[in-house]
Copies of this chain bind each other. A is one copy, B any other.
Amino acid sequence: MAAKSEQTRQLVADVALKMFREIGFEKTTMRAIAQEAGVSVGNAYYYFASKDELVQELYVQVQDEHAVVAAQALEGVHDLTGRLKAVLHTGVDVMAPYHQFGSDFISTAIRPTSPVNPFGEASTAAREASLAIFRSAVEGSSPAVAKKLRADLPELLWLAYMGVALFWVYDKSEGQRRTRKLIDGAAPLVARGLSLAKIPGVSKVFDDVLGLVRSVKEDS
């Protein structure tokens, strides 16, 4: 069976994630991971081409958990404000154990060549999963979001979520109180802002924003 190989891989990943959580990114050296897992350094590299790939492992795991928890939190909530709050708060929830790790993570993730980069190739699956959460948050809301916004909104919200995550990393208040405050304040504002789309003067601006987003996105 191929189980032995997979077992080693899992062992290394588990040990690494545990150490990331408990002592942070920098102190979790490849040598320390190997020693703690009872394998050689080279063996860890046989399964993970770089330390970054171990971070990627963490990223995927956190995203998966977010998908599950968010879906649960969305049940029975129908207004957009509530649905946004649900998705964002659960997002912060699943990241919480890694807060001290956050800055190193982002620093890694932001590099275009990193496997963890949320915009990059290697993270396509994780990004799609995350996008799907926002799509469901938007589509399931009643009263419904203006039709012309519905297509692009999930992506924009996801982008905003990246911003929230960035804010969270810098948030040194206890329990990241400020991030919670930001979410609670911003969610209703987004919902109200979107409802302004009915006002003729505003509608035009919205159209142009969407047009710009699309044109910049397509020209790649």
Contacts and interface: CB of A to CB of B under 8 A. Distances in A.
Interface of A: 103-104, 106-108, 110-113, 119, 166, 169-170, 172-173, 177-178, 181-182, 185-186, 189, 192-193, 196, 199, 201-202, 205, 208-209, 211-212, 215-216, 219-220
A189 B216 contact: no
A181 B110 contact: no
A220 B112 contact: no
14 contacts: A103-B112, A106-B110, A107-B107, A110-B110, A112-B170, A173-B219, A178-B216, A185-B212, A185-B216, A186-B212, A189-B209, A189-B212, A192-B205, A202-B202
Given A199-B201, A201-B199, A219-B181, A113 B103 contact: yes
A196 B201 contact: yes
Contacts of A181: 215-216, 219
B111 A182 contact: no
Contact of A182 (B113, B185, B193, B212): B212
A103 B119 CA distance: 13
